[in-house]
Amino acid sequence: MFDKVLIANRGEIACRVIRTCKRLGVRTVAVYSEADADAMHVAMADEAYHIGGAAAADSYLRGNAIIEVAEQSGALAIHPGYGFLSENAGFARTCADVGLIFVGPPAKAIEAMGSKSAAKAIMEAAKVPLVPGYHGEDQDDAILAEAAERIGYPVLLKASAGGGGKGMRVVERASAFADALASARRESKAAFGDSHMLVEKYLTRPRHVEVQVFADTHGGCVHLFERDCSIQRRHQKVIEEAPAPGMTPELRRKMGEAAVNAAKAIGYVGAGTVEFLLDEDGSFYFMEMNTRLQVEHPVTEMITGQDLVEWQLRVAEGGHLPLSQDELGVDGHSMEARIYAEDPDRNFLPATGTLRRLRFPVEEPHVRVETGVREGDEVSIYYDPMIAKLVVWGEDRNAAVRLLRQALGEVKIAGLSTNVDFLASVAGHPAFMEGDVTTRFIEQHQAELLPEKGKASARVLALAALHVLVKRGDEARQAAAASADPHSPWAQTDGWRLNDDNHHELYFIDDGEEVCVTVHYRGDGYLLEVPQGEGRAAAELRAAGETDHNGDLLADVDGVRIKAVVSQHADELTIILHGSSHRLAVFDPAMRAAGQEAGTGRLTAPMPGKVVAVMVKEGQKVEQGVQLLVLEAMKMEHTITAPADGTVAAIHFAAGDQVDDGAELLSFEVVEE
């Protein structure tokens, strides 16, 4: 085995690779950007080298700098993880040229699969079934539109260089084709530096089923069964499982064989994934091959009992595949949920911020937590906003789903928006529990999966009030301990007031409304008058509480013991209760500024990014829903549309400008009815 391996990546995958290296006694070298000096992967590695600025182009994509570090540190092999340089044929070739081992396929195989259109041509020749479509060289607008017409709407536009669902647009009808093409090209150009498109028949109820393959340098090639990755938002996976629900031995054999043929057709070596769309009638079509380890590889590890990173290292040093096809088998069922910093209520817009609270379930053999961040770390605009992967194993699918739900309920994150509640609703949805999954699942069940957040329940408001009271009590006690006269009545923490009827009011902003909780002090706790329901009638609740050593709130609300997380940053409170969270702001009426009314018609940037297109002119009258401006952030496009019928009063940025989070993009005047 290698003595030392350099990991040319960051985050959870770098940590994942380092863990296997440690188990095998292989020393590890990390590289890091300016933004990652204190990152978890840096702390875990035996040595770490700074390679440049925060932006990936200035650090994790600097192949030559990384090769220099390998030479300097004496690492003989480079593991690229996924993303960054993992599918960069030029980098793989340079490694080989300077005598370093690239833990991945040969450059030629990466090249063959790097372009979706070229890959399709190779697969066609190898008799692997393809989705009907156009994957030609000619990129003329008219040729592409004609191809769409011939294939028949709806069609899917895909960036040939694409990945992660970027540069992809579903087009329902001919009239929408030109706009979709322009937008997909722009996104592809920005993300991959290339705008080559292909057009495919859009299947309406497919499943995404992919096959893990592995090949060695001695001609050995096996598959490690399939994964179902149908649960996707924005064409990106969020929950994956293995095996695929409802898979028959016959179909598994056919798909496995097709995947092995695909790998053999390009002289593949190492870990790869052949992605298929599985149609309702059982026919399957090649989509693409990913020439690296996938994000979702752990579910395969859980059902096969293998460590795929170890397999990668063994194959890379010239060894044989550890097991033959006959020796591999499926045991039980595994699921993975990807926890992202994002806002499901705003079309899963990526979020940034500090992980003020970050708690995961305790790891045990059936529950794995793959992460690259710790409490206090930042999710920045520079990298992928995935916070962690939660991986579970059960004896059958039912057991795995139940364990996943339970594990998600134990995840507690505060400080930024996440998709944890959303994942829990998917895992608890009856259709998901029955294995009735397609790539349209989220869209189809949107109403149940993304219910209106609505108003805080009386219990949530009671917990928020308790948090404020407990915190004040702690502060008063500390002040009393520090003061000269600890018995002063001013140091009392039980609400004692001179000439007071022993109650006072706490104010919160919830769901855009000001709500008031009246607190009456009782010897053993409080009596809270809490507004509840649509009309916010007051309910009376007895409440008492304290914080434990973890900082969790141990509360007793009307005789029910509750353990909750209430995390406060500035005025903002996040209350996490049984895997569902609610955000409130603490509000001091004395600080209320006069005339701070909403509806000013400011349209602001939902996150930091770059303006890529402005579709309107100052003074232009528009109808509600018309596209005004396109912002690119985290390599994705976000369109700002007119919130109502009105006039564009002023435009504050032009295409190419960088904007900060919250910056006013346009002033908009709403037409009064």
Question: Would you name the residues annotated as active-site residues?
Answer: 292
Question: What minimum distance in Å lies between the beta carbon of 165 and ligand ADP?
Answer: 5
d(Cα 300, Cα 311) in Å, to the nearest integer?
A: 13
Q: Does 164 bind ligand ADP (CB under 6 A)?
A: yes
Terminal CA-CA length for the chain: 74
Stretch that binds ligand ADP, among 165-173, 319-327, 366-374, 597-605 (CB under 6 A): 165-173
Residue labelled with tokens 């052949």: 274
Q: Which is nearer to ligand ADP, 158 or 389 (CB)?
A: 158
Q: Which is nearer to ligand ADP, 119 or 517 (CB)?
A: 119
- Give burial (CB, 10 Å; 0-12/13-18/19+) of 125: exposed
Question: What minimum distance in Å lies between the beta carbon of 240 and ligand ADP?
Answer: 11
Q: Which is nearer to ligand ADP, 235 or 356 (CB)?
A: 235
- Tell me the β-bridge partners of 159: 197
Q: Does 409 bind ligand ADP (CB under 6 A)?
A: no
Question: β-pairing, 658-659 with 627-633?
Answer: unpaired
Q: Does 129 bind ligand ADP (CB under 6 A)?
A: no
Residue 36 DSSP one-character state: G
Q: Which is nearer to ligand ADP, 153 or 587 (CB)?
A: 153
Q: Does 200 bind ligand ADP (CB under 6 A)?
A: yes
Largest CA distance in the chain: 90
Stretch that binds ligand ADP, among 164-172, 254-262, 507-515, 616-624 (CB under 6 A): 164-172
Cβ atoms 584, 530 nearer than 8 A: no
Question: What minimum distance in Å lies between the beta carbon of 391 and ligand ADP?
Answer: 20
Stretch that binds ligand ADP, among 79-87, 104-112, 143-151, 157-165 (CB under 6 A): 157-165
Tokens found for residue 343: 């806002």
Site for ligand ADP in 212-251 (CB under 6 A): 232, 235
Q: Which is nearer to ligand ADP, 162 or 428 (CB)?
A: 162
Q: Does 386 bind ligand ADP (CB under 6 A)?
A: no
For ligand ADP, the binding residue among 52, 81, 83, 206 (CB under 6 A) is 206
Question: What minimum distance in Å lies between the beta carbon of 226 and ligand ADP?
Answer: 13
Site for ligand ADP in 549-608 (CB under 6 A): none
Q: Does 187 bind ligand ADP (CB under 6 A)?
A: no
Q: Does 162 bind ligand ADP (CB under 6 A)?
A: yes
Q: Does 163 bind ligand ADP (CB under 6 A)?
A: yes
Q: Burial letters for 468-488: b for 16+ Cβ neighbours within 10 Å, e otherwise?
A: bbbeebeeeeeebeeeeeeee
Tokens found for residue 626: 């018309």
Q: Which is nearer to ligand ADP, 202 or 340 (CB)?
A: 202
Residues comprising the chain, all counted: 673
Stretch that binds ligand ADP, among 174-182, 199-207, 293-301, 568-576 (CB under 6 A): 199-207
Sign of the Cα pseudo-torsion (70, 73, 78, 84, in order) = negative
For ligand ADP, the binding residue among 66, 103, 266, 287 (CB under 6 A) is 287
Stretch that binds ligand ADP, among 45-53, 194-202, 337-345, 538-546 (CB under 6 A): 194-202
For ligand ADP, the binding residue among 111, 226, 288, 421 (CB under 6 A) is 288
Angle formed at CA 504 by CA 503 and CA 505, multiple of 5 degrees = 140
Cα 262 to Cα 119, 267, 269, 319: the distances in Å are 10, 9, 12, 22
Amino acid at 545: G
- Tell me the β-bridge partners of 650: 667
For ligand ADP, the binding residue among 216, 275, 307, 342 (CB under 6 A) is 275
For ligand ADP, the binding residue among 40, 56, 131, 437 (CB under 6 A) is 131
Question: What minimum distance in Å lies between the beta carbon of 129 and ligand ADP?
Answer: 12
Cβ atoms 84, 56 nearer than 8 A: yes
Question: What minimum distance in Å lies between the beta carbon of 237 and ligand ADP?
Answer: 7
For ligand ADP, the binding residue among 70, 123, 157, 203 (CB under 6 A) is 203
Question: What minimum distance in Å lies between the beta carbon of 16 and ligand ADP?
Answer: 20
d(Cα 38, Cα 35) in Å, to the nearest integer?
A: 8
Question: What minimum distance in Å lies between the beta carbon of 432 and ligand ADP?
Answer: 16
Q: Which is nearer to ligand ADP, 162 or 531 (CB)?
A: 162
- Tell me the β-bridge partners of 528: 519, 541
Half-sphere exposure in the Cβ direction for 657 (13 Å, CA)? 15
Residue nearest ligand ADP (C-beta atom) = 439
Rg value, the chain, Cα: 28
Which residues have a Cβ under 8 Å from the Cβ of 459 and sit 6 or more positions away? 541, 557, 562, 577
Q: Does 495 bind ligand ADP (CB under 6 A)?
A: no
Residue 361 DSSP one-character state: P
- Give burial (CB, 10 Å; 0-12/13-18/19+) of 79: buried
In the complex, the residues that contact ligand ADP under the rule CB under 6 A are: 131, 156, 158, 162-166, 168, 200-203, 206, 208, 232, 235, 275, 277, 287-288, 439
